[in-house]
A and B are shown apart, each in its own frame.
Chain A
Amino acid sequence: MAKKAVTPTRMVLNQLKVRLKTAIRGHKLLKDKRDELMRQFMDVVRKNKVLRTRVEEGLTEAFGALTVAGAVMSPEMLGQALMYPRQSVSLDMSFKNIMSVNVPQYTFSTSAADPADIYPYGFTQTSGELDKAMQSLSRVFEDMLELAQVEKTMQLLAEEIERTRRRVNALEYVMIPEMQENIKYISMKLAENENSTKVRLMKVKDMVLKEAIEERRAREGRITENLG
């Protein structure tokens, strides 16, 4: 690992220690977040799978019925019958917060309360097959709406999980080891400095002592000379 240049001082060491503590705490929190997101995600995925199959089956059925209706009636008549909707769908959206991911929640209401009101045409000139097609289409529509909600939730969660996982890994495998290494480097460097200072001091002390002793000896020598 390429080591960043750090100045081996006590101040930097203290700063690094604080940062390491924060990083470890953040790592733990993010890991928890990732695990919880994953749990929620798996629920959503399971739900999505069921819904998707149901919608695909429902739509195939509805389109099949529509094809039959198209075969029985002339295309112009079919187009005319379905041209102007009798019913309108109004959709309300709110957001739900899952582990700080905002996922949409849809609620819809139809303008026509009576389920029989879905047919936007008179019954005299249309075939019964068309009624059936419309019926299955409106039935599958509810599932489609739920599918939209679940699928969007799934996509948003997947996105967030990926991001969180990257962060967890970056902290775990890059940031934290790097900081630990730097801390080790600084404390070793500091200890080394301390040692060399100590040795230097001892050396100086030796030198001073030696000088003092020699001076003393010289003095004593002079005194004996004078006396003798």
Chain B
Amino acid sequence: MEAGEANKTRSGVLIDSIRTSSWQSRIAVVLVAVLLVLLLKQAAQDPGQFLSQLFIGLTNGAILALVALGYTLVYGIIELINFAHGDNFMIGSFVGLTVLSGTFAGLSLFGAITDDSGTFLKIIGVIITLFVAMSVCGLVNVGIERVAYKPLRNSPRLAVLITAIGMSFILQNVGLIWKGPAQVPFPQLISDEKVFGPGSILFRWNDLFVVGVTIPLLIALSYFIQRTKQGKAMRAVAQDKEAASMMGINVNRTISITFLLGGILAGASGVMYGLFNGITVFNVGFTQGLYAFTAAVLGGIGNLTGAVVGGLLIGIIGAMSDQYIGTRWTAIVIFAVLILVLVFRPRGLLGDRSAVQGGGE
């Protein structure tokens, strides 16, 4: 570094960085700018609609972010795209539905919690449902890791990925056997009337519910990883498995805990998805899982903040595409984002492990 560089003004640095940027990134910046301008034009025409859509996007994004965290945690620690994670999310929503209905395997344990139940019963019901779904999904995820991934830990990466795809189909069919091929309705426990906001801006109780569940979960996760001994062990294993095991860290247990955490988040996310959207279906995990994976990649896979940012962004992109391009194109838009990010910026926005061979650490 030359001495003169320190004296450069801020604008000079900016111009320099533009000069050294690649054509790819210049084109990308222009494209994103054009899209933003078009979006802002729409927003100026009808701000109420735009803001309501933004809230829907943020809520969906929060649900996706929790799933994306599961992908990113697992990828960060064993470099596996846990293909079955999306279907674990689906299992979470089915477990939630079962708990709310009060009957399991023909046994009626307690009365179903429906739209007409009292407020107190609803609140208790939702909390118990969340708790049960989180535990079940966490354990399912740990089980999958034990049965399907652990024996292949030293195998080629693609062998494990193929097993993960197999597990994904097994879970999907469990869902199919469980609830059948049709969409299953969720009871509408949380009102979709608006909480506040002037005019046509909609911020509804169910938006508030999703935010109110997601934020504590994120804080708890971040506390666990940053402050606890087990979290420290996770970070160590993610960096270097061998060295971590030499330091006396139980690598297998740490990996199991990572899967447990991912499953817990997916379970909470599945229940919220059902309550927020009012329906669930056996193959919801495939698309939602891919969206969440897109989110994880967009933020930078292996990067926890990235997963949350990516989740919110994908949620917003999806909502905007629903509104201004058309619902039927949304999946294509998001998959296109996935491909573009992987091809042009595999490190994601915030960056972590490099996806390009030979690059990165």
* Pairing of A with B: no
